[in-house]
Amino acid sequence: MTQDEDRRIRAGRAAQRVAHVCAAAATALLITSCGTADDPKGAAAPSAPASASASASASASPKASLAPIKPGEVRIAGEVDKPYTITLADLRKLPQAEASVEFVSAKGDQKHTYQGVLLHEVLKAAQPRFDQSKKNGQLRGVVAATGGGDYRAVFAWAEIDPGFAKSQVLLAVSEDGTAFEDSAGPRLVVPQDTRGGRYVSELNQLWVGTVDPVVDGAH
């Protein structure tokens, strides 16, 4: 065997060893990649999208930021620019209206005269965010009144707005000349109702919003 032939044999063997090493490395790399992509134990847990985290924080923050309601206070909140809290003492300082009403309650026929503040004036001060780009956007508005024992009744905005209705829904501060106790809060008086279901006592919250999120989100 000549020296040239010997060198060619050695070069061929070296090339084969290099090929084997490359093939082994490629196989190992492929296995590692597959394990990372498909094996949940080997893959890092995906992080939650920033938008989802922000959304969760946003949905939790409004409720968490609300201070507890003290006895006798009424919180005006919801889709308003200026939420605030009002008391019987505050209501007594405002212009008063009077309503003589008759209605049926669980205790039988009722006939009373109430003094108080127009509900529309109290809510208007909170500046409800009605969509003015819509024709009569306020007609999409609703008001939820919550009282003692988590009792709740709902009104359409048009029922309390003097621009649409003749009724005078009151936040009453007295009944038949007797003032309500400050710790009890005002009573909602609804002259147009023949039954007393919406005469919410121990009123503590008035929420203003619109039906759009419910109606537009319905399927």
Model confidence over 80-134: pLDDT tens digits? Answer: 999 999 999 999 999 999 999 999 999 999 999 999 999 999 999 999 999 999 9
For range 169-194, the mean pLDDT = 96
Give me the pLDDT at residue 13, please: 57
Q: How far apart, in Å, are the Cα atoms of 70 and each of 159, 184, 185?
A: 28, 10, 10
Give me the pLDDT at residue 68, please: 86
Report the percent of the chain where pLDDT is more than 70. 69
Give me the pLDDT at residue 19, please: 46
Give me the pLDDT at residue 4, please: 52
Give me the pLDDT at residue 7, please: 53
Residue 149, pLDDT above cutoff 50: yes
Cβ pair 141, 156 in contact under 8 A: yes
5 phi/psi in degrees, rounded to 5:
-65, -40
Residue 30, pLDDT above cutoff 50: no
Q: Between residues 50 and 90, which one has the greater pLDDT? A: 90
Does the predicted model carry a pTM greater than 0.85?
Answer: no
Give me the pLDDT at residue 6, please: 53
* Residue 143: strand pairing partners: 155, 208
Residue 157, pLDDT above cutoff 80: yes
